[in-house]
Chain A
């Protein structure tokens, strides 16, 4: 069994260098569970189904210290969208909920929705 440090799970107070962060931010994030592509368990295990990598796996792949990988990942998770996105999220939810209240799923059709059965 690997040690917490090897797994990158030793949560202490480690601050990643901002230049290192900027350099590897996108690469690290692409390998994590931030963008989940084809992870459904029903997808075939022939390379079609994928998963996010652990911090240790990413560190091995990119040749980085695992604690730096953890910090790059966590900072990037927060950093991916600015605070304005939170306001946009509230407006999105207002609109979506209102649309459903008015017309249900029918309002989601750009073309003509199918006739209601009931």
Chain B
């Protein structure tokens, strides 16, 4: 029975459905390429006998949100949840229509704040984008997109990684040659209180420096890490009046709102990508 199915057509139908429902980028990756990841991040640990990783990218912020001078816009109107919903829907569709197992990999983290799967590696393996010095996977046309990954036992033909590197963009190579930095490194320089550093040689990134902890505290500025930091400061404060100023104050209050509305507050720092030229012409509206 399995030999009689047209996997190419099935793949085409599934990916087309994903596009119609809002995915800007779709691709299939071979989960075997992630099996040498550290234990806890391997596709087979989530779904035994997994044969395909379907990667969808979409729900990017609106062009106007990138242009807004007010950071609280991007901090509070995120639509990443759409991709999660799409992934869940697609997984269910596969199971109900083809009788193969499918699951949407959770985007929240597992114990020890570790992801269930390396989404970036999955996206790169599926050709749904390329690696970037700034960190997020970038699609050559759309730039930054939110991702979702569906693991399935459906044996779909895999797309491969993109043939050409997305990062560094030509403009970034030019800037590197002139100034020894790129837009993302210039806006968030690791040697000046930021998160990013690196080197480009002959148009390729040959070295990357990344302060993950600092980046996390910016991306989750008012989320759990911010809540924890403020709570710790309050608990360490012996003066009850000062404790009240911390707990009732704007920062702790804001972390509570972000936690409550975490669906729309997923990313709270986009500055490296705001400066990134990849996909920027998609944001060039009047």
Contact = CB atoms under 8 A, between A and B. Distances in A.
Interface string A1-34: 1001000010111111110010000000000000
B71 A15 contact: no
Interface stretch (A39-47, A73-81, A98-106): A73-81
Nearest to B226: A13
Given A4-B71, A15-B242, A75 B251 contact: no
A52 to B, nearest CB: 16
A1 B70 CA distance: 11
Nearest to A3: B69
A79 B244 contact: yes
B179 interface: no
Interface of A is mostly: loop
Interface of B is mostly: helix
Contacts of A11: 222, 250-251, 254
Given A1-B69, A12-B251, A75 B245 contact: yes
A15 B245 contact: yes
B163 interface: no
A70 interface: yes
Interface residues of B, number: 20
Given A1-B69, A13-B251, A16-B249, A75 B242 contact: no
A74 B242 contact: no
B245 A16 contact: yes
B233 to A, nearest CB: 8
A21 B250 CA distance: 13
Contacts of B241: 18
Given A4-B71, A9-B72, A71 B250 contact: yes
Interface centre among A9, A17, A70, A74 (most CB of B within 10 A): A74
B253 A78 contact: yes
Interface in B22-80: 69-72
A105 B254 CA distance: 39
Interface string B211-235: 0000000000010000001100100
B72 A75 contact: no
A14 B71 CA distance: 18
A18 B250 contact: no
Interface centre among B71, B241, B245, B248 (most CB of A within 10 A): B245
A4 B250 CA distance: 15
Interface centre among A12, A15, A75 (most CB of B within 10 A): A15
A75 B170 CA distance: 50
A12 to B, nearest CB: 7
A15 B249 CA distance: 7
A57 B100 CA distance: 62
Top 7 closest A-B pairs, CB basis?
A18-B241, A78-B248, A75-B248, A74-B250, A13-B251, A15-B245, A71-B249
13 contacts: A4-B71, A11-B251, A11-B254, A13-B233, A14-B249, A15-B245, A15-B246, A16-B249, A18-B244, A18-B245, A74-B248, A74-B249, A75-B245
Given A21-B245, A74-B250, A78-B253, 12 more contacts: A11-B250, A13-B229, A14-B249, A14-B251, A15-B245, A15-B246, A18-B242, A71-B250, A74-B249, A75-B244, A75-B248, A79-B244
